[in-house]
Amino acid sequence: MMRNFKITWQQAPVTTSLIGCMVVIFIGEVVVSGQMGVSTQTLYHLGAMFTPAVVMMHQWWRLITAGFLHVTFMHLILNMITLYYVGRLLEQYLGSLKYFIGYITAIIIGSLNSLAFGSITAISAGASGGIFGLFGMIFLLGLLDKQGFWLTQAKTLGIFVILSLIPIFGGTNIAISAHIGGLASGFLIAPLLLRKGQATGKQKIVAALGLIIYIGILLTVGFGYR
């Protein structure tokens, strides 16, 4: 078992660390809440996404911390299984630093999308925004792929998308708007993380402009009309 963990760590240290971190955090949530189904009050105090707290109280950290909290044990397990499979592939391909930047960016933009278009009164949490960002990256790589590996991965990703969507129908603290934001951001971020030859300069420029415009829209709607 230790040998398998060592191999996994060597292949994908960021993915392994993220999973370990979120498991530890969930144990803390359960201890504080006193139940396996984490209470809304506990989620709020630990940094879940809550639009009024971000807009009116300027608690910006919620844009990130919400992506490390989970509502139920099943919510955590499904997300971690998906992250383990998809995260290792992308981390080995992009490199740990670029992968981490892409993942955290997807979490933030997923939260901004929730801020702009989600329920004002909902308290939401989950790694799904970041995970759907990884999905978006794979879908983009599938479009750019000339040899077929990433195209095949993109086509077979459906089962993982379904697994990640299941928690949406089982808890009100799981925001679908963060999933959509993460997916869109991953698609736009991916070209910026690729090396020269993997994406053209034009593709990078279009992706950068698209990302800037998208973030601008989310900030305008989230803070201008809330």
Active site amino acids: 128, 179
Quick check: 154 and 139 in contact, CB under 8 A? yes
Q: What is the 3-state secondary structure (H, E, C) of the chain?
A: CHHHHHHHHHHCHHHHHHHHHHHHHHHHHHHHHCCCCCCHHHHHHHCCECHHHHHCCCCCCHHHHHHHCCCCHHHHHHHHHHHHHHHHHHHHHHCHHHHHHHHHHHHHHHHHHHHHHCCCCCCECCCHHHHHHHHHHHHHHHHHCCCCHHHHHHHCCHHHHHHHHHHHHCCCCCCHHHHHHHHHHHHHHHHHHCCECCECHHHHHHHHHHHHHHHHHHHHHHHHCC
